Amino acid sequence: MSHRQQPLASAIKYAVLVLGAVLMLLPFEWMVVASLMAPNEIMARPLVWLPAVLQFHNYARLAEAISLGRMYLNSLIVTTAITLGILVSSSLAGYGFAKFQFPGRDILFLMVLATIMIPCQTSCWTPRASTAPANSRFTGASSCRWWAQPSVL
Q: How far is CA 118 from CA 31, 96, 113, 148, in A?
A: 30, 22, 9, 11
Helical (H) or strand (E) element with 115: helix 105-117
Q: What average pLDDT does the structure give for the chain?
A: 82
Instruction: Tell me the pLDDT tens digit for each residue of 44-69.
Output: 889 888 998 999 999 999 889 999 88
Q: What is the pLDDT of residues 126-148, one digit of tens each?
A: 555 445 555 555 454 445 554 45
Per-residue pLDDT tens digits for 10-29: 999 999 999 999 999 999 99
- Give buried/exposed letters for 11-22 (b at 16+ CB in 10 A, else e): eeeeeeeeeeee
